[in-house]
Structure 1
Amino acid sequence: MRTSLLNRTHGTRNTRTLARTALTLASAAALTVGLASTASAATANRTVTDGTRTYNLALTAPNTAPATGANVTVTGSGYNPDQGVYVGLCAIPAGVNTADPTTWNSKPTPCLGGQDETGTTGASHWVNSDWYWMSPSNSSPFTESGGLGSFSVQIHVKAKISDTVTCGRSGVTCAIVTRADHFDSSDRKYDVYVPVTFQ
């Protein structure tokens, strides 16, 4: 009887010990991930006027990533929900100073995955409130509040954008960006850049 009780007691203690260890490890892992995400994120801001309304755009994305590739979360707020945007990784065009929005006059290109309207690469996300249902694998509507649009999406980034363009080589610098979608691709008002360095 004592042996049986002892075994049960030790079994309970072992189970509790294992559970505590697992909880401690999970908490540590969550803390590490949280710190890494916070430490490696940056926010870019831009104020634009579209029609009669002013929008204070904010784009938050990681500013470092592994060269081999990673899925990253990108968030935005203050956008015009009537103007769809692409979220993706692009080369920063010549003449664009990411610290000076007045220089953001050239379309961010080339971009990883190109203009991925079908969502086959996972390298870009199309945020729009009218036609998102056309591309369910990589598109979603804005979350709207008070006439402003926000989003939180995941995209895949890596240093090699194409066979001839690699971020960090031959003078190529890259950023996670938003830009007006293919319905208004010449509109530069919604270009916002968060520069990213690949390690």
Structure 2
Amino acid sequence: MRTRTRTALTSALALASASALTLGLASSASAATAGRTVTDGTRSYTLSLTAPNTAAATGANVTVGGTGYNPDQGVYVGLCAIPAGVNTADPATWNSKPTPCLGGQDETGTTGASHWVNSDWYWMSPSSSSPFTEANGLGSFSVQIHVKAKISDTVTCGQSGVTCAIVTRADHFDSSDRKYDVYVPVTFQ
């Protein structure tokens, strides 16, 4: 009896492990990475942004990671409409500020739709900001944001020609700087 119980338990654990591995692979497969190299002053940074490329239209919390950022330049991480003329595969076209964004410029952290990553002022908004993790003069982050297809009363991703992406962009201290824009296009199911 014990052998049968042990065998059944071992089989159940093996099946659960295989299922967990499959789910892990499926979620990894649905992530995309985008990047660009920028020069800021005398330093060059190779930015890399990894985010899901699909999400539930009704809303989902997603994890977004970034590496290679300038830890002296804060960035917002959020879901934004891709501006007209921007080709997400061509950083040379990234000349317009990604907007509108879900939750707007959420400096207070009330929507959960964006996250402010910066190494100087993150303590001002502890619910929606954090410092970069720094190593060798480069900043990285892993944050959670809430995304959904309807980003404003008049703008819905996937409708009326609106395409959207999870992006980083320079924070409100340098909001006209396009060097830190990186796009991972996202579609909603």
The C-alpha deviation readout for 1:162-194, integer Å capped at 9, x for no partner, is: 111100000000000000011111111100000
Structure 2 portions without partners, runs of 5+? none
Structure 1 partner of 2:14: 24
- Which segment drifts farther, 15-24 or 153-162? 15-24
State how far apart, in whole Å, the 2-side matches of 1:194 and 1:135 are.
25
Partner of 2:170: 180
After superposing on structure 2, the runs of 4+ consecutive aligned residues of structure 1 that deviate more than 3 Å are: 12-22
Aligned residue identity for 2:95:
N
Matched, 1:55 2:17: no
- The CA deviation string for residues 16-68 of structure 1, in whole angstroms up to 9 with x for no partner, is 46643553353134213211221111111111100110000011111111111
Among 24, 39, 43, the alignment partner of 2:29 is 39
Partners of 1:192 and 1:131 lie apart in 2 by 22
Inter-partner Cα distance in structure 1 for 2:13 and 2:115? 35
The range that moved more, 18-27 or 163-172, is: 18-27
Q: 2:57 aligns with which of 40, 43, 67?
A: 67
C-alpha RMSD over aligned residues: 1.5
Deviation at 1:105, TM superposition (A): 0.6
Larger radius of gyration between Structure 1 and Structure 2: 1
What TM-score, normalized by structure 2, do the two folds share? 0.94
Give the TM-score taking structure 1 as reference length.
Answer: 0.89
| Structure with the higher fraction of residues in helix conformation | 1
Which consecutive unaligned segments of at least 5 residues does structure 1 have? 1-9
The 3 A distance-change label for structure 1 pair 140 and 164 is same
Hey, what does 1:103 align to over in structure 2? Answer: 93
The yes-or-no answer on 1:122 pairing with 2:112 is: yes
What amino acid is the match of 2:61?
N
Distance 1:20 1:118 in 2: 49
Residue 33 of structure 1 aligns to a residue in which SS?
helix
CA distance in 1, matches of 2:57, 2:19: 23
